[in-house]
Amino acid sequence: MQKKTKFVIIVGSVISGIGKGTFSASLANILKLHHGLVVAPIKFDGYLNYDAGTLNPYRHGEVFVLDDGTETDLDLGSYERMLNQSLTKDNYLTAGKIFKTIIDRERKGEYLGRDVQFVPHVTDEIKSYIKRLGEKTSSDVVLVEVGGTVGDIENSYFLEAMRQLALEEGKGNVCFVNVVYILEPKSLGEQKTKAAQLGTQRLMAMGIQPDVIVCRSEKPVTVSAREKISAYSNVTTNRVVSLHDLENILEIPIALKKMKVDEEIIDILGLKTKPDHEFQKWEKLAGMMERAKKKVTVAIAGKYTGLHDSYISILKALEHTAPYYGSCADIKWIETTDIENEKQAIEMLKDVDGLIVPIGYGSRGAEGKILCIKVAREKKMPFLGLCYGFQMAIVEFARNVCGIRGANSTEVDPDTKEPVIDILPEQKKIEGLGGTQRLGGQDVAIREGTIAHRLYGKKEVRERFRHRWECNPKYIEILEKHGMVFSGKHPKYPIMQILELPDNPYFFATQYHPEYTSRPLEPNPAYKGFVEACVKHAEG
């Protein structure tokens, strides 16, 4: 017999970007790790893109890649890290995906000549998608995060679908959580709730009565402010909770648990729980983070440094790995488009304990990255190259160690005479951009007796990729002859996926993204090795 799935719908009012995703992930964390429930999060984004693959990092932050190759919003990364589990395409929904499904069905004649409308066709498709997720995963709870803000045109039909879902599922099976922002103008010196009240009333005007209201703010929300919101929303004061800014994300599930938000939602949904002790590991890690005193300075040399969310998974991987070595990572941002010569790179990297060169596309900032890598290699500074950073490390080594002066990537210079980095053969005939790269989980064969083998302790691992270019097989022999070790490769083909320099304390680069699989309770080995090396470098 199929278990009855319950639903928690998380919406936001007042402003966007207030942390609905973080709240959703944190609540899922408690329900799974403390209460032993099977949970499945899903994010809805109202944009008409089919997925997040073609979105500019400056506008939307990092594109997160799931094991099945789905390119998603960065909130899916938060879900995976908080839940310590992998998700699939079923956990991500966009307006583009909904409308494409409906148009494809209409073209096939599946609607039997009827007018295709928002109600019932679009709303029915949304409800079916969410219910199927619960069935596929045999979940006790499906948590639905609705992107954007109450009142946005692009999510109004989705909210209507959620209203219908609550009606169809019946009382006690759907819980609505409204995440609001409490303003505190400096000129007034007091918290103002009017915007939160109006946002909640707008939600109620759509036929949705919130069961819980989460008040986001810089400082703890006062009792009087919570009472005002309660009076205008028909939500009892004990279910109007304060969630102010905290030092780090690991503390949020602990704070929610202390406020008994999880217990209120369990009561609303009538859930039967089976307590788990995994949450104690989470609390232990949060305590380790709080006690960590050693600071290591890590430089991130990229070209999207104006928006730190472009590198959110890297930041989180450093944040949750450092406490295991009694340290905390202090980030120094280096905009590589501003670096024109080696002297500038040396200046930028002074007093730094390690360098990360992350993902990137195109030619802008490439030479600045290469200069930073050269400094790190020559000064034997811990280095971690990620995807594009792996490729630029090969270009730098080819130029400055192998003596291949014109070495370059065809992505940077399509006419280069020494294409040490070239596009993957299967990519050359592809037109368009969306979903056309090598994406998702791939097996990596690890060479024994290498740093990679010491870190992973396995002969084969699975990591996530997102790239079109690779190390040109024609240059592998000369690179290896001069001391570069390719310690990870495709199990069948000469596609290099990990490189290292044995003469350096930690010079390690991956064609894949270890940050996508790094989680607080299980940091990725590549980050563990890097942070450990940074701590040793800081200690001299």
Residues 263 and 124 in one domain: yes
Residue 343 has pLDDT above 60, yes or no: yes
Gap between the Cα atoms of 509 and 200, Å rounded: 48
What pLDDT shows up at residue 435?
45
Spatial distance between the Cα atoms of 129 and 435, rounded to a whole number of angstroms: 21
DSSP code of 231? H
Same-domain pairing of 318 and 257: no
DSSP state of 211: S
Give the span between the Cα atoms of 78 and 244, in whole angstroms.
Answer: 19
Q: Look at residue 1 and tell me if it is in a domain.
A: no
pLDDT of residue 437: 67
Give the residue-averaged pLDDT of 507-521: 97
Residue 305 lies in a domain: yes
Instruction: Return the number of other C-beta atoms located less than 10 Å from residue 457's C-beta.
Output: 10
The DSSP secondary structure of 35-76, one letter per residue, reads: T---EEEEEEE-SSSSSSTT--HHHH-PPEE-TT--EE-THH
Domain-terminating residue out of 282, 310, 337: 282
| Predicted local confidence at residue 426, as pLDDT | 56
What's residue 224's pLDDT?
95
pLDDT (tens digit per residue) in 235-266: 999 999 999 999 888 999 999 999 999 999 99
Q: What is the per-residue pLDDT for 434? A: 46
**CA nearest 81: which of 22, 138, 19?**
22
Q: How many helices (H) and strands (E) does the chain have?
A: 18, 21
276 in the same domain as 299? no
Percent share of the chain, pLDDT over 70:
96
Decide if 146 is inside a domain: yes
The neighbour count for residue 248, using CB atoms within 10 Å, is: 14
Which among 34, 60, 320, 513 is annotated as catalytic? 513
Q: By residue range, what is the domain housing residue 229?
A: 6-282
Let me know whether 54 and 182 are in one domain: yes
pLDDT at 304: 75
459: left (phi over 0), alpha (psi -120 to 50) or beta: alpha
Residues 298 and 269 in one domain: no
114 within a domain of the structure (yes/no): yes
Asked whether residue 368 falls in the same domain as residue 341, the answer is: yes
Per-residue pLDDT at 428 exceeds 70 = no
Count of alpha carbons within 13 Å of 98, Cβ hemisphere only?
28
Same domain membership, residue 382 and residue 250: no
1 pLDDT higher than 60? no
**289 close to 344: Cβ distance less than 8 angstroms:** no
256 & 323 share domain: no
The contacts of residue 278 (CB under 8 Å, 6+ apart) are: 32, 33, 34, 84, 521
pLDDT at 429 over 70: no
Looking at the predicted structure, is the pLDDT value of residue 310 above 90?
A: no
Cα–Cα separations (whole angstroms), residue 341 to 338, 352, 368? 9, 18, 8
DSSP notation for 409-468: ETTT-TT-SEEEEEE-GGGTT--SSTT-SEEEEEEEEEPTTSHHHHHH-SSEEEEEEEES
List the one residue out of 457, 458, 455, 446 whose CA is nearest residue 526. 455
Within a domain: 511: yes
Paired tokens of 472: 């040109």
What 8-state DSSP symbol labels residue 3?
P
Backbone angles phi, psi at 278, to 5 degrees: -60, -30
Residues 6+ apart with CB under 8 A from 113: none
Q: Are 27 and 261 in contact (CB under 8 A)?
A: yes
Tokens representing 242 are: 């304060």
Q: What is the pLDDT of residues 146-192, one digit of tens each?
A: 999 999 999 999 999 999 999 999 999 999 999 999 999 988 889 99
Q: Which run of H or of E encompasses 102?
A: helix 95-107
CA atoms of 181 and 200, how far apart (whole Å): 11
In a domain, 201, yes or no: yes
Q: How far apart are CA 352 and CA 530, in angstroms?
A: 13
Task: Tell me which H or E stretch contains 300.
Answer: strand 294-302
Q: What is the CATH number of the domain that holds 365?
A: 3.40.50.880
Q: Which pLDDT belongs to residue 430?
A: 44
pLDDT, one tens digit per residue, over 489-508 is: 999 988 999 999 999 999 99
Asked whether the predicted pLDDT for residue 432 surpasses 70, the reply is no
With respect to residue 222, please indicate whether it lies within any of the assigned structural domains. yes
In angstroms, the CA 41 to CA 29 distance is: 10
Same-domain status, 225 and 326: no
Q: Are residues 232 and 339 in the same domain?
A: no
- The pLDDT of residue 461: 97
Q: Identity (one letter) of the amino acid at 80?
A: E
Q: How far, in Å, CA of 333 to CA of 23, rounded?
A: 27
Q: How far apart are the first and last CA of the chain?
A: 62
> Does 372 qualify as catalytic in the annotation?
no
Answer whether 179's CB lies under 8 Å from 221's CB. Answer: no
Total domains present in the chain: 2
Domain boundary among 245, 264, 282: 282
Grade residue 112 by pLDDT with cuts at 50, 70 and 90. Answer: confident
Nearest to 43 by CA among 6, 69, 80: 80
CA dihedral 342→348→354→358, nearest 10 degrees, is -80
387 in catalytic set: yes
Residue 329 bridge partners (DSSP)? 296
Q: Are residues 273 and 338 in the same domain?
A: no
Q: Parallel, antiparallel, or unpaired for β 174-181 and 212-217?
A: parallel
The closest alpha carbon to 450, from 491, 401, 506, belongs to: 506
Q: Which CATH number is 212's domain given? A: 3.40.50.300
Computed from CA positions of residues 78, 83, 85, 91, in that sequence, does the dihedral angle turn out positive or negative?
negative
The one catalytic residue in 328, 387, 471, 534 is 387
pLDDT of 532 reads 97
**What pairs with residue 469 in β-bridges?**
423
* Strand residue runs (E) in 303-353: 327-335
Final residue of a structural domain among 228, 252, 282: 282
In terms of DSSP bridges, do strands 327-335 and 354-357 run parallel, antiparallel, or are they unpaired? unpaired
- 157 and 306 inside one domain: no
The DSSP output letter for 118 is I
Give the active site residue among 125, 145, 500, 515: 515
Write phi, then psi, for 16 (nearest 5 degrees).
-85, 170
Q: Domain for residue 287, yes or no? A: no
Please write the tens of the pLDDT for every residue from 281-299: 999 999 999 999 899 999 9
pLDDT of residue 403: 97
- Whether 539 sits among the annotated catalytic residues: the reply is no
pLDDT in tens, 3-45: 799 999 999 998 988 899 999 999 999 999 999 999 999 999 9
